[in-house]
Amino acid sequence: MKLIALDVDGTLLNSNHEISQKTRRAIIKSLEEGHKVVIVSGRPTKAINHIAKELSLDKYGGLISAFNGGTIINYETGHELTNHTLDLDLAKEIIKESRKLDIDVLIPKNKTMISYRDNKYLDLEKEILGFETEVRENIIENIDFNPNKLLLASDKKTLDELIPVLEKKYGKKTSLVRSQDFYYEVMPKGLSKGNSLLEIAEYYNMEQKDIIAFGDQMNDKTMIEIAGVGIAMANAIEAIKEIADYITLSNDEDGVANYLEKFVLKGTYNE
C-alpha cells in the first residue's frame, strides 16, 4: 500500500485548471486498489474540497493537507487532524513590514481572501480559486484571528530583491517558501508539505518509504525530499527536477496517471 501525495496547481490540474479524465480515473483506480491519497496544497481547505469530491475521496477515504500542511482534514468524515496558525502579533508585525515594502498581503480566512487594498492578486484568487474578496484598509487593526498563513505578492523582480530581507528578519520565527514567481508564503515555524506527510504517514501507520509525492514548485520541495519516491512533473522548475527521484510527463500530458500506470496500478481500467 502506498501513500500518494498530490500537489494541485501545476501537478494534478492541467493548464485549464482541470483534472483530466485519464488522471482522475488513475487516481480512483489507486484508491480502489487500497492505496491512500492525500491532496497537498498551499490552497485553503475550501478551495480544495471540490477537487477531493471529484476524486471520490468521500467514497474511498482520503485526506486534504491545506495551507502547505497547516491544516490536515479527513475529507470523508470532516475531522480536523491538525490546524497550525501564525501568532497574531507576529502576523501583524509582518503585515506592517510588508506594507512598508509596498508588497501586497493576502490573508485567507475560510472562503475569503483579505487584503489592505484592491490588487490584481485578489482578482486572480477570485477568478482561479473562486474566493470571495475583502478589502480592509486598516488591516492591522482589523485582523482578529490567527491566520494559517500570509501570502506576500509582488512581481518576480521585487520578490527576488526582498526575500533575503524577509528571511533574515523572520526566518527564525516562521517557515517561508516561494510557491510561485509572484507569491511568497509565510507560515508557522516548522510547517511544510513534507512534515505534513510525515504526520499523515503516522496517522495511517505507514512507513516513510511508502510515500509517493508529485510536485512542481518550491513549496513541494520538502515533500519531494521526504518521500520514498519524489516525482517532479516535466513542467516543474529545475530545482525540483534536480532533487526528484523520477521525472514524469507534464501536467498537460497526464503525468500523474502516467506514473501510476507504470509503477503503482496492478490491473487495467477504463479511462
Same domain, 212 and 258: yes
Nearest to 98 by CA among 181, 176, 180: 176
Same domain, 183 and 94: yes
**What 3-state class would DSSP assign to 238?**
helix
Same domain, 78 and 209: yes
Q: Domain with 195 in it: what CATH number?
A: 3.40.50.1000
Task: Name the grid cell of 43.
Answer: 490552497
Same domain, 64 and 103: no
Tell the burial category of 204 from Cβ atoms under 10 Å away from its Cβ (0-12, 13-18, 19+): middle
Q: Domain with 128 in it: what CATH number?
A: 3.30.1240.10
What would the pLDDT profile of 99-131 be if each residue is shown by its tens digit? 887 889 999 998 899 999 999 999 998 988 888
On whether residue 201 sits in a domain, the answer given is yes
Same domain, 70 and 20: yes
Cα radius of gyration (the chain): 18
On whether residue 180 sits in a domain, the answer given is yes
The phi and psi torsions of 48 (rounded to 5 degrees) equal -115, -20
Nearest to 206 by CA among 52, 63, 75, 79: 63
On whether residue 160 sits in a domain, the answer given is yes
| Residue 107 to residue 91: CA distance in whole angstroms | 10
Of the three residues 187, 210, 232, the one that is the final residue of a domain is 187
Domain count, the chain: 2
Cα 1 to Cα 57, 125, 133, 261, distances in angstroms? 16, 36, 41, 15
C-beta separation of 152 from 98 below 8 A:
yes
On whether residue 269 sits in a domain, the answer given is no
**What is the pLDDT at residue 267?**
65
Of the three residues 161, 187, 213, the one that is the final residue of a domain is 187
Task: Give residue 229's domain range.
Answer: 3-84+191-264
Q: Which residue positions in the chain have pLDDT lower than 70?
A: 267-271
Same domain, 151 and 126: yes
Same domain, 77 and 18: yes
On whether residue 109 sits in a domain, the answer given is yes
3-state SS, 29-72, equals HHHHCCCEEEEECCCCHHHCHHHHHHCCHHHHCCEEEEHHHCEE
**What 3-state class would DSSP assign to 257?**
helix
On whether residue 106 sits in a domain, the answer given is yes
Same domain, 233 and 247: yes
Same domain, 205 and 218: yes
On whether residue 270 sits in a domain, the answer given is no
The pTM of this model reads 0.85
Of the three residues 133, 153, 187, the one that is the final residue of a domain is 187
What would the pLDDT profile of 2-16 be if each residue is shown by its tens digit? 999 999 999 999 999
| Residue 112 to residue 141: CA distance in whole angstroms | 18
Task: Name the grid cell of 16.
Answer: 485549464
Same domain, 252 and 178: no
Same domain, 137 and 213: no
| Residue 162 to residue 176: CA distance in whole angstroms | 13
Same domain, 35 and 63: yes
On whether residue 127 sits in a domain, the answer given is yes
